[in-house]
Amino acid sequence: MTAETAAATDTHCPYCALQCGMRLRPLPTAPGGLEVEERTAFPVNRGALCGKGRTAPEVLAGGVRLTEPLVRRDRSGELEPATWDEALDRIAAGLKSTRETHGPDAVGVFGGGGLTNEKAYTLGKFTRLVLGSSQIDYNGRFCMSSAAAAGTRAFGLDRGLPFPLADIPRTGCVILVGSNLAETMPPALRYFTELRENGGTLIVVDPRRTRTAEQADLHLAPRPGTDLALALGLLHLVVAEGRVDEAFVAERTTGWEQARAAAMAHWPELVERVTGVPVPQLRAAVRMFCEPEAAMVLTARGPEQQSKGTDTVGAWINLCLATGRAGRPLSGYGCLTGQGNGQGGREHGQKADQLPGYRMLADQAAREHVAGVWGVDPEVLPGPGRSAYELLDALGRDTPDGVRALLLMASNPVVSAPRAAHVEERLRALDFLAVCDVVLSESARLADVVLPVTQWAEETGTLTNLEGRVLLRRKAVEPPAGCRSDLAVLNALAARLGWEKGFPTDPEEVFDELRRASAGGKADYSGITYRRIADEDGVFWPCPEPPVPAGTAAADDDPSNDHSAPVHPGTPRLFLDRFATPDGRARFMPVSHRPSAEEPTADYPVYLTTGRVLAQYQSGAQTRRVGELNAAAPGPFVQLHPRLAERLGAAEGDRLAVISRRGRAVAPARISTDIRPDTVFMPFHWPGEGRANNLTNPALDPTSRMPEFKVCAVRVELADQ
């Protein structure tokens, strides 16, 4: 049998929130090996894949990934191979003894935005029922929590994009704020290329002239941390130039007068002084945005990963509302979600304050609904817990509210968390740490027990992409004998801790329970089934299950169902008739600019901003194990302007030390005019001396609890003097 005739599996990439469609075909010459093929019929990427997607099967190889459990039998010793029973017994004993000695909230759980919906749902259920703990959050908090908070406040509902990506080329103008999607999700760039080919315009807001900014009709390069002032300045000009859509504001919004007053305090010359963006560019941006019939604003981590991220996103939403660019065809505000299941991962209970269906833990009706599905008394459910960084900061503390044991699943905070050296210290201070991962990450190396779990191509499950499209990622190959799924791990731990039932290992069975738990919630999946997803290339939520007519089968996948009963079509486009608020109107947010938590000083005179590069992903735990990707991006660097390099006496490739109030990182200089002279940039994919998150500031947004990854004050010097 040849590769051309071997059975192929249609599935999705394991990396970013595009969840690009791909086809996997077994390699007959390499048992267990897979070849990636284009899947042109899938509407999101239409066959296009970046290097990360093309090389994804390389992480499945036995020499790259974990294939047997590891335990540390002596706290000062090394991790050693163990049986599954020994490893699971040790985890159960560690969690149980901590809970009995210090209380249920002394046990914490930290999840990941790459977990399937089924795993995220089960992890939240396990934490709240089996452990009885409120202490659960996930690394998706670091992704788009500010956009989620702002979207919920303005529209009553948070979904990354309230419209399909296919709408982007058909609008008139897009303002893309703080996104370098040419490197972070390259297949999406074609939508913006098509936008310009169709006569539309692209405005990119970024302190750097990135590969994405090079494609723009207008590039605005504000000082880091001033996106809020920029948005307010644009809204000021909209008012001053008479470009407000008065009819839309009157008919479909509330709170305009307060928001208008706040914007009018940010006149163009003031905004130029704050942001560094010249007034003529501000006026050009307003003209380009307002003149077409339709337009969009899309934000990403740039404006969101700030201690004022919720207000910053709110200001961009205000711009959309004031100009009637929301709740209408081909117009709106959207967020470009980053992680593979960053959207679904928070919708179903992995986030500190949420229950499945995007219900809130503090809502008694929500508690009653979910408790009914789980078969428990609502009073059993704990209340909201700590946000991600606050949870990490509480680890290993010998205090009444300290977290003494942690179950870490699909995350690598030693590299990815702000103030990373401090987070590493907190992980080392734990009484007990268990990690479930596919590779021996930097965080897993600190664990008492490490469990090798199955990966994307070795299991079936659903994910929700940045459009709100629920997708089915299918199993294509058998995992190594020593690996088990995260669902099997949680089932086994639950049984050891006294819960013999309620934690199935079959993902479709879990999804059917998730459907019931989400029914009636904001993120209602109850009308979505595995069969529908497979047949329709995904289904957009909300998708409630319609009432079942008398005499028809209740379940879509019931063999006796003739499928004559109506089904909800899903909701590709939100807010066209009304917003998801009680009165159906969108809410303006009266916000004003304020400085970042940390501004440059004489001792720390330069801004630092961080981000990603094309060939690596997140903490690099997987992509750093792929030869082709490492050859393209072998290590960290410091991007700086020639004028700053001249002041430092630095040449290309010189080792530079970047120092903040929290730590130090060292990496080679990369000198470029593509960055502001007052700013340096570092990618955050690497551990060791180039760990950029040694420097970043954990100052939190008061609403979203997002850390301020995108701006802090540093000094830069030659490392070897």
Q: Is 515 within 8 Å of 528 (Cβ atoms)?
A: yes
The region, left, alpha or beta by phi > 0 then psi within -120 to 50, assigned to residue 181 is alpha
Q: Is the pLDDT of residue 560 over 90?
A: no
Query: Higher pLDDT residue, 559 or 23?
Result: 23
Query: Does residue 178 share a domain with residue 32?
Result: no
Structural domain contains residue 657: yes
Structural domain contains residue 712: yes
Structural domain contains residue 433: no
Query: Does residue 324 share a domain with residue 195?
Result: yes
**Two tokens at 176?**
């893309």
Residue range 306-322: mean pLDDT, rounded: 98
Q: Is the pLDDT of residue 5 over 70?
A: no
Structural domain contains residue 390: no
Measured CA to CA, the distance from residue 497 to residue 25 in angstroms comes to 40
Q: Which position has the token pair 């704020």?
A: 177
Q: What is the tally of structural domains in the chain?
A: 3
Query: Does residue 296 share a domain with residue 167?
Result: yes
Q: CB neighbours of 250 closer than 8 A, spacing ≥ 6?
A: none
Structural domain contains residue 576: no
- Residue 555: per-residue pLDDT: 45
The tens digit of pLDDT for each residue in 41-89 reads 999 999 999 999 999 999 998 889 999 999 999 888 999 999 999 999 9
The region, left, alpha or beta by phi > 0 then psi within -120 to 50, assigned to residue 80 is beta
Read off the CATH number of the domain in which 199 is found. Answer: 3.40.228.10
Query: Does residue 189 share a domain with residue 313?
Result: yes
What is 494-526 written as a DSSP string?
HHHTT--SS--S-HHHHHHHHHHHHTTSSS--T
Percent of the chain with pLDDT over 90: 92
Q: Which position has the token pair 């428990």?
A: 376
Measured CA to CA, the distance from residue 134 to residue 109 in angstroms comes to 9
State the residue range of the domain holding 284: 161-336
Q: CB neighbours of 634 closer than 8 A, spacing ≥ 6?
A: none
Q: Which position has the token pair 């079942």?
A: 548
* The domain boundary residue, chosen from 303, 336, 369: 336
Query: Does residue 313 share a domain with residue 173?
Result: yes
**Two tokens at 532?**
């529908």
If DSSP states are collapsed to H, E and C, what string results for 136-153? Answer: EEECCHHHHHHHHHHHHH
Structural domain contains residue 124: no
Q: Is the pLDDT of residue 563 over 60?
A: no
Measured CA to CA, the distance from residue 486 to residue 459 in angstroms comes to 10
Q: Is 606 within 8 Å of 716 (Cβ atoms)?
A: yes
Read off the CATH number of the domain in which 669 is found. Answer: 2.40.40.20
Measured CA to CA, the distance from residue 491 to residue 502 in angstroms comes to 8
Task: Name the phi and psi angles at 389, rounded to 5.
Answer: -65, -40
Q: Where are the beta strands (DSSP E) in 173-262?
A: 173-177, 201-205, 218-220, 253-254
The tens digit of pLDDT for each residue in 127-137 reads 999 999 999 99
Query: Does residue 175 share a domain with residue 56?
Result: no
Residue 349 exposed, middle or buried by CB count within 10 Å (0-12, 13-18, 19+) = buried
Query: Does residue 290 share a domain with residue 172?
Result: yes
Structural domain contains residue 714: yes
Structural domain contains residue 514: no
- Residue 549: per-residue pLDDT: 57
Query: Does residue 172 share a domain with residue 24?
Result: no
pTM confidence score: 0.95
**Two tokens at 5?**
């005739």
Beta bridge partners of 254: 587
* The domain boundary residue, chosen from 282, 303, 336: 336
- Residue 346: per-residue pLDDT: 86
Residues in the chain: 721
Taking the alpha carbons of 415, 420, 426, 428 in that order, is the dihedral positive or negative? positive
For residue 304, how far is the Cα from the chain centroid? 11
**Residue 524 identity (one-letter amino acid):** D
Measured CA to CA, the distance from residue 324 to residue 341 in angstroms comes to 30
Cis upstream peptide for 542 (omega within 30°): yes
Read off the CATH number of the domain in which 19 is found. Answer: 2.20.25
The tens digit of pLDDT for each residue in 208-228 reads 999 999 999 999 999 999 999
Q: Is 683 within 8 Å of 639 (Cβ atoms)?
A: no
The tens digit of pLDDT for each residue in 668-700 reads 999 999 999 999 999 999 999 999 999 999 999
- Residue 52: per-residue pLDDT: 96
Mean pLDDT estimate for the chain:
95
Strand order in the sheet with 34-38: 9-12, 21-26, 34-38
* The domain boundary residue, chosen from 319, 336, 353: 336
Q: Is 354 within 8 Å of 152 (Cβ atoms)?
A: no
**Residue 633 identity (one-letter amino acid):** A
Q: CB neighbours of 507 closer than 8 A, spacing ≥ 6?
A: 116, 118, 459, 460, 461, 462, 487
Query: Does residue 53 share a domain with residue 168?
Result: no
Beta bridge partners of 334: 298
- Residue 29: per-residue pLDDT: 75
- Residue 638: per-residue pLDDT: 98
The tens digit of pLDDT for each residue in 259-297 reads 999 999 999 999 999 999 999 999 999 999 999 999 999
